[in-house]
């Protein structure tokens, strides 16, 4: 199994920055990719950024110029640096890990979520 614990959320004013952390434990070597999602009140959860085991990153267009996903393998931690935050970015942010439990068996684990509130 893979377990994820998120931290770093909080309240900031528009234009401010936050760094979210996602610490993984369990079958760390089985993780193929990790991603950051967000879910605003009354909205669907959406993918923001992902990073593969090879270090390749992908972003949705709305955050590519402002958000950066990175990882520290020594700490088993993935980060999301968020700059120039907007009130529209207010949401619960989740970390997800895709991992392999056996041949042809891929599972996803989710963090508990961390609240980000951007005020104007």
pLDDT band of residue 69 (cuts 50, 70, 90) is: very high
Q: What is the pLDDT of residue 65?
A: 92
* Arithmetic mean of pLDDT, 96-104: 92
Q: What is the pLDDT of residue 102?
A: 85
What is the three-state SS of the chain?
A: CEEEEEECCEEEECCCCEEEEEEEEECHHHEEEEEEEEECCCCCCEEEEEEECCCCEEECCCCCCCEEEEEEHHHCEEEEEECCCCHHHCEEEEEEEEEEEECCEEEEEECCCEEEEEEC
What is the per-residue pLDDT across 17-56, written as a single tens digit (0 to 9) for each? 999 999 999 988 899 999 999 999 999 999 999 999 999 9
* Arithmetic mean of pLDDT, 80-90: 97
Q: What is the pLDDT of residue 100?
A: 92
Q: What is the pLDDT of residue 28?
A: 86
């Amino acid at each position: 199994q893979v377990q994820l614990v998120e931290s770093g959320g909080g309240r900031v004013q528009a234009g401010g920055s936050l760094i979210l952390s996602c610490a993984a434990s369990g079958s760390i070597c089985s993780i193929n990719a990790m991603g950051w999602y967000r879910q605003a009140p009354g909205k669907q959860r959406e993918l923001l950024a992902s990073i593969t085991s090879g270090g390749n990153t992908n972003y949705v267009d709305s955050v590519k110029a402002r958000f950066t996903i990175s990882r520290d393998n020594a700490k088993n931690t993935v980060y999301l640096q968020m700059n120039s935050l907007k009130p529209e970015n207010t949401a619960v942010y989740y970390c997800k890990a895709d991992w392999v439990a056996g041949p042809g068996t891929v599972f996803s684990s989710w963090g508990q979520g961390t609240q980000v509130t951007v005020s104007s």
